[in-house]
Amino acid sequence: MLQINPTDQIALVGLGYVGLPLAVEFGKHRPTIGFDIQPARIQQLTQGIDNTREVTAENLKNAQHLSFTDNPAELRDSKIFIVTVPTPVDKHKQPNLKPLLEASKAIGEVIQKGSIVIYESTVFPGATEEVCVPLVEQVSGLKFNKDFFAGYSPERINPGDKEHRINNIIKITSGSTPEAADAVDCLYQQIVTVGTHKASSIKVAEAAKVIENTQRDLNIALINELALLFDQLNIDTQEVLNAAGTKWNFLPFKPGLVGGHCISVDPYYLTYKAQEIGYHPQIILSGRRINDQMGQFVAESVIKLMTKRRIHVVGSKVLVLGLTFKENCPDLRNTRVIDIVRTLEHYNASVDVHDPCADIEAAYNEYQIELLPTLPANHYDAIILAVAHDEIVELGISEIRKLGKQEHVLYDVKSILPQSEVDARL
């Protein structure tokens, strides 16, 4: 029998971009304990510091029922477990379920009868009940849907977005039994003011999540392919999009680098499951191939512009402004700006990278890039505006141009600067 009470403690497993805001919201209403395997992360949060910039010190303070730990044994008193760990892909573009499996195992070691485990991490349809729950069952010795229950409520966090937050984004909910589904739905209604959508099954909820970002990936891939075509036709893509956008039902997607932990990853989870059952998707993987080549395209476009200006590429100095996967966000995971850097380095250019939002240590550990803290004037043969952080955009065209030598190239990946002021844009 599953019965969730307002005083039951929630354990949030994984305190990244998804888990921490969720822990804070629940911590305003009921006993909540946030768990993460990184002691440094726990220490920072205990001091009121969130290096992801998703939660302020004031918000942490307002979650008066929230505590933090890196000791899984301290989760034993919890009745509700919510898993918000990363679900990346490996170098072969296959799902890497290790964080999810480790979280499930840790929960299995502390879960008690009458508990419920809710997964928020993006997975392929079937993963919760076919992969995760059996591990909890095996480790705990408890019987699924008798001694403990499961739910799936996909995260919809958009890093860096201060407008769309947990409480004003409709939440999809689901459960392993009708009563579990009701319990999960009721739980999230406590913090989501705009309402919930209760799916008929966990698989439906899993599938809904994975196609949200797959759809965006494909729409961006279409526009990126058009950008590749229009480049050959010597037509400005942004002008075309502005003209087409005057029609009421034209979708306002833009070309760009598709990185991060969602849009560029989730489609591989769906295609993995499709191939497992013998279906070989074509459109989804085609879109991925197009989006994955855009960094190289930008770099080679800059090289062509330099060559036309008779600027020697070998030994040239190139500045890349921005490294994170999106603007005003410190998240470096799966950023495709790195493709620009590596392509330029392949042509023996010397590349500097400046990013006011990224963590210097994280950039070096992840990509062996030493971020440039200050910007020298009159120094670069080419400048690439790769990420439109406010601090970069606020420099203005004049200050950005001053960073270049008398003869230099300025390429605007984000199409933020006036068309007449840049040499090219995506």
DSSP output for 356-388: SSS-HHHHHHHH-----SS--SS-EEEEEE-S-
Q: What is the pLDDT of residues 264-279, one digit of tens each?
A: 999 999 999 999 999 9
User: Kindly report the CA angle at 330 between 324 and 331, in degrees rounded to 5?
Assistant: 65
**Helix residue spans in 255-368 (DSSP H):** 266-276, 283-292, 294-308, 337-346, 360-367
The answer on pLDDT for 2 being more than 90 is: no
- Looking at residue 160, its pLDDT comes to 78
Alpha carbon separation from 170 to 18, 154, 185, 191, 210 (Å, rounded):
15, 11, 11, 11, 16
The answer on pLDDT for 238 being more than 90 is: yes
How sure is the predictor about 251, in pLDDT bands with cuts at 50, 70 and 90? very high
- Looking at residue 162, its pLDDT comes to 80
- pTM for the model stands at 0.93
- Looking at residue 37, its pLDDT comes to 96
Is residue 348 within 8 Å of residue 313, measured between CB atoms?
A: yes
- Looking at residue 157, its pLDDT comes to 84
- Looking at residue 312, its pLDDT comes to 96
From 132, 262, 329, 357, the catalytic residue: 262
Query: Long-range contacts: 338-342, Cβ < 8 Å, 24+?
Result: 338/295, 338/367, 338/369, 339/257, 339/292, 339/294, 339/295, 339/296, 339/299, 340/257, 340/295, 340/296, 340/298, 340/299, 340/384, 340/386, 340/413, 341/299, 341/367, 341/369
Average pLDDT over residues 197-209: 98
**Is 262 annotated in the active site?**
yes
Mean pLDDT estimate for the chain? 95
The answer on pLDDT for 373 being more than 90 is: yes
The Cα 285–Cα 288 span in angstroms is 5
- Looking at residue 161, its pLDDT comes to 76
Q: What is the pLDDT of residues 146-190, one digit of tens each?
A: 999 999 999 988 887 788 889 899 999 999 999 999 999 999 999
The answer on pLDDT for 1 being more than 80 is: no
How sure is the predictor about 384, in pLDDT bands with cuts at 50, 70 and 90? very high
- Looking at residue 261, its pLDDT comes to 87
Residue percentage of the chain with pLDDT more than 90: 94
The Cα 10–Cα 81 span in angstroms is 6
The answer on pLDDT for 3 being more than 90 is: no
Is residue 268 within 8 Å of residue 122, measured between CB atoms?
A: no
The answer on pLDDT for 397 being more than 90 is: yes
Q: What is the pLDDT of residues 253-307, one digit of tens each?
A: 999 999 988 899 999 999 999 999 999 999 999 999 999 999 999 999 999 999 9
Q: What is the pLDDT of residues 33-69, one digit of tens each?
A: 999 999 999 999 999 999 998 999 999 999 999 999 9
b or e along 122-143 (b: 16 or more beta carbons within 10 Å of the residue's beta carbon)?
A: bbbbebbbebbbebbbebbebe
